[in-house]
């Protein structure tokens, strides 16, 4: 097989951090090459260098023996490097075809409307991807939007495809479809770099894996030759436990009561009369396919969205119409699913993000003045306790790796000593070590007699941690199943609206 990309001794430093330290790896034609590494290991930095977003301090990159020296992504795209980022860069109001040709065509994209639709139809056929070129992107599922991003890359004649954590936002069904797309591309000889934290996916679809740790490439191995455990150990540099051990525990009294709650958005009901309770010492898991009302439900509980009907009680008090601030004060903590949008202020320092909810109160403020020393001490303590890397409390949140940003949110919310933690997709984008850490934190809260409402698209996570699992479909709770008894198949069916018990 011909070598497509050759990365030699790439080094890149930021103030106080060597993000890439003499990194070496290569990708061959028709190969799916996974890059695996802990949060902050340097994967995104490396991809940004390959894509021309950052200039390396030293080292070389060759694409089919040609030395690359990009100063912008435009040059990388022209050379044949295509990248699909975790956060899509599409324009929702435009059609699939318009989004695909945007930036590649001079003049008005609406000018050759019919030709563009035909051209995108042919392109989709050539790469075996099913998509309607005239559909509006804003109406598509996340999985289909990703397909548009991939097609856009091939419209620009990419020779190499980089997928940065492509499965992080997908439902299990969409992951299967993406894997099919990747396998077809591989059989057409297209090389793919696949960044992921999910060992099972890496094991399943990649041919080789390069493991990065603390900015260095530890090793490149044939995927077949390494077990998931081997890869996890290589990545973290120590033995990692890949399963959760949850001690048995009797739940206490109800802490949160949700009764017949209806939530409306965009002029239709998204939550249609949901009732459940979360008890002290219990992790209540909410499983469902994305977009079935779980986001609206948790936003109604946290106070971010109004309840149209029904009642929410917390610690015996009616909080249905309380403000977010009141609920936070009463003891509800919240890890939102979108850390960029709702979790952090990206242009604030870590110190400011750590005290975001409490900065105006003692001891972080006194007589209207911020108490810098106390904020710094608190931030240092949280950074250490939650292993936020690098340990620079004055770094901007924007400059942290995705996983470390997530740890900052978790640290802030858990350290407020809440009675109830609502955790939405708490481990999205995290590496195995960090997942283990967060799972243990949720179990610690449970052991302390607190309540946890866990919302996750990861069935394995829900099944491993929850004492009871509520399955939501089309805004309704299909069933509440004891965690220990739930099976993947049963949950999968309930998530698609099929209740075998009721169907007999």
**For binding to ligand ATP (CB under 6 A), which residues are involved?**
14, 17, 19, 37, 39-45, 389-390, 399-404
Look at the alpha carbons of 477, 481, 482, 483 in this order and tell me if their dihedral is positive or negative: negative
Q: Is 149 helix (H, G, I), strand (E, B) or coil?
A: helix
Nearest approach, Cβ of residue 494 and ligand ATP (Å): 32
**∠ CA 42-144-496 to the nearest 5 degrees?**
105
- DSSP per-residue letters across 295-350: HHHHHHHHTSS--SEEEEEETTEE-TT--HHHHHHHTEEEE-S-IIIII--TTSBH
Q: What is d(CA 234, CA 381) in angstroms, rounded to the nearest whole number? A: 29
Q: Which is nearer to ligand ATP, 1 or 89 (CB)?
A: 89
Residue 39 C-beta: closest distance to ligand ATP, Å: 3
Two tokens at 51? Answer: 């894509």
Does a cis peptide bond (omega within 30 degrees of 0) precede residue 59? no
Nearer residue to ligand ATP within complex by CB, 283 or 409 = 409
Tell me the closest approach of the beta carbon of residue 393 to ligand ATP, in angstroms.
Answer: 13
Comparison of 22 and 357: residue with beta carbon closer to ligand ATP: 22
What H or E segment, with its residue span, contains residue 115? helix 113-126
Tokens of 418: 């809440």
DSSP-derived 3-state class of residue 406: helix
Q: How far is the CB of 202 from ligand ATP (least distance, A)?
A: 13
Both tokens of 263, joined, read: 């939530």
Q: Which is nearer to ligand ATP, 235 or 421 (CB)?
A: 235
Of 44 and 292, nearer to ligand ATP (C-beta) is 44
Question: Residues 220, 25: contact at Cβ < 8 Å?
Answer: yes
Which lies closer to ligand ATP via its Cβ, residue 116 or residue 351?
351
Q: Distance between CA atoms of 331 and 421, rounded to whole angstroms?
A: 8
Min dist. Cβ of residue 309 to ligand ATP (A): 41
Q: Judged by CB, which is closer to ligand ATP: 400, or 414? A: 400
Query: What tokens appear for 67 in the block?
Result: 């030395």
Contact by Cβ (8 Å): 146, 87? no
Residue 212 vs 307, nearer CB to ligand ATP: 212
Q: How far is the CB of 275 from ligand ATP (least distance, A)?
A: 38
Closest CA to 176 of 206, 141, 204: 204
In the complex, the smallest distance separating the C-beta of residue 49 from ligand ATP, rounded to whole angstroms, is 10
Across 192-307, the runs of DSSP E, i.e. the strands, are 192-195, 208-213, 216-222, 254-265, 268-279, 282-287
Question: Would you state the structure tokens that stand for residue 493, as one six-digit string?
Answer: 């069916």
Closest contact distance (angstroms) between CB of 40 and ligand ATP is 4
């Amino acid at each position: 097989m011909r070598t497509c990309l050759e990365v030699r001794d790439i080094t890149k430093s930021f103030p106080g951090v060597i993000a890439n330290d003499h990194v070496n790896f290569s990708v061959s034609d028709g190969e799916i090459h996974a890059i695996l590494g802990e949060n902050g290991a340097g994967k995104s930095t490396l991809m940004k260098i390959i894509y021309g977003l950052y200039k390396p301090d030293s080292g070389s990159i060759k694409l089919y023996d040609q030395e690359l020296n990009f100063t912008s992504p435009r040059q990388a795209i022209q050379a044949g490097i295509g990248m699909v980022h975790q956060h899509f860069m599409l324009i929702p109001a435009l059609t699939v075809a318009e989004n695909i040709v945007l930036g590649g065509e001079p003049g008005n994209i609406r000018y050759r409307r019919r030709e563009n639709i035909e051209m995108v139809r042919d392109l989709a056929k050539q790469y075996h991807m099913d998509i309607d070129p005239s559909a509006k992107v804003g109406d598509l599922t996340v999985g289909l939007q990703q397909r548009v991003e991939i097609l856009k890359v091939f419209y620009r004649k990419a020779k190499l495809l980089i997928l940065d954590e492509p499965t992080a936002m997908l439902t299990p069904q969409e992951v299967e479809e993406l894997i099919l797309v990747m396998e077809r591309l591989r059989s057409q000889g297209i090389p793919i770099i696949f960044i992921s934290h999910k060992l099972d996916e890496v094991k399943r679809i990649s041919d080789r894996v390069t493991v990065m740790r603390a900015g260095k490439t530890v090793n490149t191995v044939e995927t077949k030759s390494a077990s998931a455990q081997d890869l996890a150990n290589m990545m973290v540099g120590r033995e990692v436990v890949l399963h959760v051990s949850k001690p048995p525990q009797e739940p206490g009294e109800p802490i949160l009561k949700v009764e017949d709650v209806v939530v409306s958005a965009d002029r239709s009901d998204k939550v249609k009369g949901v009732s459940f309770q979360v008890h002290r010492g219990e992790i209540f898991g909410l499983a469902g396919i994305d977009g079935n009302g779980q986001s609206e439900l948790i936003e109604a509980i946290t106070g971010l969205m109004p309840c149209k009907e029904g009642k929410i009680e917390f610690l015996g008090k009616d909080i249905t119409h309380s403000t977010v601030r009141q609920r936070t004060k009463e003891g509800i903590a919240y890890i939102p699913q979108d850390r960029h949008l709702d979790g952090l202020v990206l242009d604030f320092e870590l110190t400011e993000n750590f005290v975001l909810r409490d900065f105006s109160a003692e001891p972080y403020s006194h007589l209207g003045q911020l108490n810098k020393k106390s904020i710094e001490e608190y931030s240092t303590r949280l950074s250490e306790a939650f292993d936020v890397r690098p340990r620079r409390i004055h770094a901007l949140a924007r400059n942290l790796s995705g996983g470390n940003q997530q740890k900052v949110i978790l640290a802030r919310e858990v350290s407020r000593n809440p009675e109830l933690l609502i955790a939405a997709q708490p481990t999205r984008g995290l590496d195995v070590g960090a997942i283990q850490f967060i799972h243990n934190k949720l179990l610690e809260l449970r052991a302390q007699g607190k309540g946890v409402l866990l919302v996750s698209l990861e069935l394995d996570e829900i099944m491993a941690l929850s004492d009871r699992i509520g399955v939501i479909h089309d805004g309704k709770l299909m069933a509440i199943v004891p965690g220990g008894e739930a099976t993947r198949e049963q949950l999968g069916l309930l998530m698609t609206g099929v209740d075998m018990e009721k169907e007999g």
